[in-house]
Structure 1
């Protein structure tokens, strides 16, 4: 068979039978969503790192430069390091993969989902450490002296804690829904389309 015969057969073939899958468009869309996630993670890293020096100023701001406060600051820093390491490693590994296969998109989706969970848990722990910090400041400054009865003191403490916890949970939920959940939902839709 020579080249001319091959060319005739090629020209006689119908192009209607050749169908290009929709997967290419879907995988391109997945890459776009993954790029958005990376940009969001990068911005959040810089936001968290810039807030760290503010934390170191708290003991001086409240005029509480003692060992107990610095111990809480050290615990706070240790709490920051572990989840940050996990999320940062996920961020770095995400650049090593080609997102042209379902397996790699799945990997990104599930690791991103667990990173959101880690971020949520670490934020809750930070809220608890902040409650400890504020409580120690109140106790050491003797700001409870103006309460006439212990019952009023306990009502005040419990109401402040409830307001603080509700506010922290609301802010956290809003933050995660605003910046992290939308791309997660988009990736889930893309994975569902690729599974079909």
Structure 2
């Protein structure tokens, strides 16, 4: 058989017989989205690491270098390390899988979704610990003595806490929406397309 005969057979073959898997483009899109998520997580992780050195500066900013303030800061650091460990573990595990199957993309989606929940809880806990730290500083400095009565100080502190908590919740929701909601929706759409 010569080259001309092979060429005729190739040309006579129907192009309908050659089918390309339509899921290939969808899986490629999933890989792109997953890569974006990893980049965002990496940037966010390094941003979160800046909190640790900042904690060491606070006692000097407030002029309180007492053992109770350092104990509170040590507890805050210990509580911050646990969720960060799980987020880092998820991030590292995401590089060990190839996202060419529905099962692996599904794994990433649900772990990413739970990582967002862990991150939210981490930030809420951090906000509460900041309230604890501020309260400790105010008590150590005996700031409440500037008020006429302890009740006035309590009302002032309560109003400031409500404003602070509202701001923290708004900031956290904005941060998650800005960084994580869009890729999460994209992954959900990709999973829906692959499952059909």
TM-score of the two chains, using structure 1 as the length reference: 0.92
Q: Distance in 2 between matches of 1:50 and 1:165?
A: 21
Once the two structures are superposed, the pairs formed by residues 35-184 of structure 1 within 5 Å of their partners are: 35-184=35-184
Q: Distance in 2 between matches of 1:147 and 1:60?
A: 25
Deviation readout 1:55-99 (Å, 9 max, x if unpaired):
111112111111111111111111111111111111111111111
Q: Distance in 1 between matches of 2:151 and 2:80?
A: 36
Alignment CA distance shift 1:146-1:36 (3 Å): same
1:9 Cα shift?
6.3
Gaps of 5+ in 1: none
1:146 Cα shift?
2.3
**1:65 counterpart SS class:** coil
Aligned residues: 194
Q: Which residue of the partner structure matches residue 23 of structure 1?
A: 23
Gaps of 5+ in 2: none
1:12 Cα shift?
3.9
Q: Distance in 1 between matches of 2:147 and 2:92?
A: 53
Q: Distance in 2 between matches of 1:78 and 1:179?
A: 26
TM-score of the two chains, using structure 2 as the length reference: 0.92
State the Cα RMSD in Å. 1.9
1:160 Cα shift?
0.6
